[in-house]
Amino acid sequence: MTLTAGILIQNATQGTAADLMRECVVRSQHLPVIGHVHDELLAEGDHRAEVKRLMEIVPQWAAGLPIKAEVKHERRYGK
C-alpha cells in the first residue's frame, strides 16, 4: 500500500474526530450513556438538549474548530 497525502489527511481527520468523541464520552459520565458508534453517542432516555450541549463543547486544544451536533430521540437505535 502506498502512503499518499489523502491517506495522511484522512487518518488525521479520523484521529481528531475520535479524540473529540472520547472527550464527549468523559463529559457525559453523568448521563445514562450505553455506548457510542463512530460519531454517535447512545444514551437511554431523552437527554437531547444536554447531549447536544456536551457534544458541541470545543476543547481548548481544538480552539476554532467548528463543531455542530445533531441529536434525535428514538425508541431503538436507527440511522
What pLDDT sits at residue 66? 94
When pLDDT is cut at 50, 70 and 90, the band that residue 70 belongs to is: very high
Q: Return d(Cα 18, Cα 38) in angstroms, integer.
A: 8
pLDDT tens digits along 12-62:
999 999 999 999 999 999 999 998 888 888 999 999 999 999 999 999 999
Task: Write down the pLDDT at residue 36.
Answer: 87
Single pTM value for the model = 0.80
pLDDT at 3: 85
CA distance 54 to 23: 9
Listed residue (61, 43, 38) closest to 53, CA to CA: 43
Q: Where in the chain are the domains?
A: 5-62
Q: What is the pLDDT of residue 2?
A: 84
